[in-house]
């Protein structure tokens, strides 16, 4: 069946026809039949160069042979036991070894679950009620973080979804990214803040890059006010290098959330941090957290293979960075702005790179929509939103990058 018919049928069976809202492209999304390397093959017989890469996990591209082999080897041995498995301490050792700020880690099944648990843990450890997040920062689809952006630092959070209690998100305050004064003022005025959670590089509205010294000052301010610092590195973990943003920028958060790349394309999440804090997690301590699929062997095997491959190929990050630099240099200078960091990139339809959510929202999304469609017509699949990061993977060849650059030039 072709994509249009599949979607027509799916809309009868599933809300909006999809399993996650961003996939509901109009008039209908293409359906993927199979994928390999940098390419997606659609049910309509087209082949596309993929710069969406499942929104982040696939740093080695689709169906990477080393990961496929690891998953298949695990499947031979069964794929869910409900008991501990040797892969858990193995991946835990690998990840904590790569992150000086992580002594211990708990595996869960998604990034959302990781941030939900990290927030509960921060509250349980500190005994304080409120959390602070960044406007437009994305931490998954659970209640505490579904707060409308732009509600301001001093007002109470307003739900960003029906069904989220205003009483609950009243405990979620927000500050703009790259605004140290707002953070300092908020923490000075409120001594009931358990944690400040942020993406060190905003990946779900851009990328938006931290100003020089911003993260260092965030660390100093949170420490001064006795507030835990949670880095949500679900996108940036192993994306900005081994050890993610925290190693790249030399910051030690109290807690870290991971997901995406550490599962090699299978479902995973994790949270970790200082031993003293992680010791509060059940059954070692009183903060409850549990899951049927937590630490599932197939995800762990895919994660081990991915991180092993990244360690064995230290030149990869430089190659990915060179690829987005080549893209940047090839673009005609126009009204928009190209932002990139390592393998993350985005063209914003606004004159200068945004520094926060409000600036990002000034982008011309109607023009983005037309541009996105033209890129697809030229065989390049970008995330279907002005506010989702584009990626390149290890599987993208120089000729892929040239094709992407050529399409950008033509469409812009
Ligand atoms: C993707 C993402 C999440 C949510 O992860 P899921 O696995 O989709 O639940 C949380 N935080 C950040 C920064 C993310 O990019």
244 lines ligand 1 (CB under 6 A): no
CA dihedral 353, 363, 30, 392 (to 10 degrees): 0
Q: What is the pLDDT of residue 148?
A: 87
CATH number at residue 239: 3.40.640.10
User: Please, which residues bridge with residue 193 across strands?
Assistant: 130
Based on the fold, state whether residues 72 and 215 are members of the same structural domain: yes
203 lines ligand 1 (CB under 6 A): yes
C-alpha–C-alpha distance, residues 291 and 32, integer Å: 30
Q: Which two tokens stand for residue 105?
A: 């880690």
Based on the fold, state whether residues 263 and 221 are members of the same structural domain: yes
Q: Which among 296, 311, 326 is the end of a domain?
A: 311
C-alpha–C-alpha distance, residues 104 and 96, integer Å: 7
Based on the fold, state whether residues 242 and 168 are members of the same structural domain: yes
Per the CB < 8 A criterion, the answer to whether 118 and 197 are in contact is yes
Based on the fold, state whether residues 132 and 164 are members of the same structural domain: yes
CA 333 to ligand 1 center in whole angstroms: 33
Based on the fold, state whether residues 157 and 297 are members of the same structural domain: yes
111 lines ligand 1 (CB under 6 A): yes
Q: Which of 136, 260, 267, 303 to mutate to test the pocket of ligand 1 (most atoms within 8 A of CB)?
A: 260
Is 207 among the domain residues? yes
Q: What is the pLDDT of residue 157?
A: 81
CA 372 to ligand 1 center in whole angstroms: 23
3-class DSSP state for residue 107? strand
pTM for this structure? Answer: 0.97
- Among 127, 254, 112, 284, smallest CA distance to 193 is for 127
Q: What is the pLDDT of residue 227?
A: 98
The region, left, alpha or beta by phi > 0 then psi within -120 to 50, assigned to residue 64 is beta
Q: Which among 311, 329, 360 is the end of a domain?
A: 311
110 lines ligand 1 (CB under 6 A): yes
237 lines ligand 1 (CB under 6 A): no
CA 301 to ligand 1 center in whole angstroms: 20
* Helix or strand (DSSP H, E) at 131: strand 130-134
Based on the fold, state whether residues 379 and 302 are members of the same structural domain: no
Is 15 among the domain residues? no
Cβ atoms < 10 Å from Cβ of 97: 13
Based on the fold, state whether residues 209 and 291 are members of the same structural domain: yes
Is 153 among the domain residues? yes
C-alpha–C-alpha distance, residues 392 and 155, integer Å: 39
Q: What is the pLDDT of residue 150?
A: 65
Q: Which among 279, 311, 343 is the end of a domain?
A: 311
256 lines ligand 1 (CB under 6 A): no
Is 191 among the domain residues? yes
Is 9 among the domain residues? no
Is 362 among the domain residues? yes
Based on the fold, state whether residues 353 and 271 are members of the same structural domain: no
Q: What is the pLDDT of residue 348?
A: 96
Show the domain range for 97: 65-311
201 lines ligand 1 (CB under 6 A): no
As for how many domains the chain has, the answer is 2
Based on the fold, state whether residues 290 and 341 are members of the same structural domain: no
Per the CB < 8 A criterion, the answer to whether 251 and 231 are in contact is yes
Tens-level pLDDT at each residue, the chain (412 residues): 999 999 999 999 999 999 999 999 999 999 999 999 999 999 999 999 999 999 999 999 999 999 999 999 999 999 999 999 999 999 999 999 999 999 999 999 999 999 999 999 999 999 999 999 999 999 999 999 999 876 554 557 889 999 999 999 999 999 999 999 999 999 999 999 999 999 999 999 989 999 999 999 999 999 999 999 999 999 999 999 999 999 999 999 999 999 999 999 999 999 999 999 999 999 999 999 999 999 999 999 999 999 999 999 999 999 999 999 999 999 877 779 999 999 999 999 999 999 999 999 999 999 999 999 999 999 999 999 999 999 999 999 999 999 999 999 999 9
CA 351 to ligand 1 center in whole angstroms: 28
Q: Which two tokens stand for residue 44?
A: 């309509």
Per the CB < 8 A criterion, the answer to whether 61 and 392 are in contact is no
Based on the fold, state whether residues 328 and 221 are members of the same structural domain: no
Per the CB < 8 A criterion, the answer to whether 355 and 369 are in contact is no
**Nearest atom in ligand 1 to 20's CA:** 8
CATH number at residue 346: 3.90.1150.10
Which residue has the least CA distance to atom 10 on ligand 1?
A: 139
Is 249 among the domain residues? yes
Which residue has the least CA distance to atom 5 on ligand 1?
A: 111
């Amino acid at each position: 069946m072709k994509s249009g018919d599949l979607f027509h049928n799916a809309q009868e069976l599933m809300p909006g026809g999809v399993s996650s809202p961003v996939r509901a492209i109009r008039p209908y999304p293409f359906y993927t039949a199979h994928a390999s390397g940098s390419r997606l093959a659609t049910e309509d017989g087209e082949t596309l160069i993929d710069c969406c890469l499942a929104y982040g996990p696939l740093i080695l591209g689709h169906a990477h042979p080393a990961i496929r082999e690891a998953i298949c080897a695990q499947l031979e041995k069964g794929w869910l036991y409900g008991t501990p498995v040797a892969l858990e301490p193995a991946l835990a050792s690998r990840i904590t070894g790569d992150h000086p700020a992580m002594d211990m880690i708990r595996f869960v099944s998604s990034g959302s679950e990781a941030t939900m648990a990290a927030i509960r843990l921060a509250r349980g450890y500190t005994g304080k009620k409120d959390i602070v997040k960044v406007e437009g920062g994305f931490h998954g689809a659970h209640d505490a973080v579904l707060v409308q952006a732009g509600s301001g630092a001093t007002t109470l959070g307003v739900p960003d979804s029906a069904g989220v209690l205003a009483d609950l998100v009243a405990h979620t305050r927000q500050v703009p990214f790259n605004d140290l004064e707002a953070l300092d003022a908020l923490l000075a005025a409120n001594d009931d803040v358990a944690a400040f959670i942020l993406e060190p590089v905003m990946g779900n509205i851009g990328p938006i890059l931290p100003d020089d010294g911003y993260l260092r000052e965030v660390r100093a301010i949170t420490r001064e006010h006795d507030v835990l610092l949670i880095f949500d590195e679900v996108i940036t973990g192993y994306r900005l290098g081994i050890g993610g943003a925290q190693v790249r920028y030399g910051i030690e958060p109290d807690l870290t959330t991971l997901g995406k790349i550490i599962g090699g394309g299978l479902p995973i999440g994790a949270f970790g941090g200082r031993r003293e804090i992680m010791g509060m997690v059940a059954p070692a301590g009183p903060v409850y957290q549990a899951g049927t699929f937590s630490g599932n062997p197939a995800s762990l095997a895919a994660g081990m293979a991915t991180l092993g491959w990244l360690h064995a190929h230290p030149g990869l990050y430089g190659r990915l960075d060179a690829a987005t630099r080549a893209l940047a240099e090839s673009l005609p200078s126009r009204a928009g702005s190209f932002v990139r960091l390592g393998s993350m990139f985005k063209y914003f339809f606004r004159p200068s790179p945004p520094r926060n959510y409000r600036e990002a929202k000034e982008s011309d999304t109607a023009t983005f929509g037309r541009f996105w469609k033209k890129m697809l017509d030229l065989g390049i699949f970008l995330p279907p939103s002005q506010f989702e990061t584009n990626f390149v993977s290890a599987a993208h060849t120089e000729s892929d990058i040239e094709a992407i650059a050529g399409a950008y030039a033509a469409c812009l």
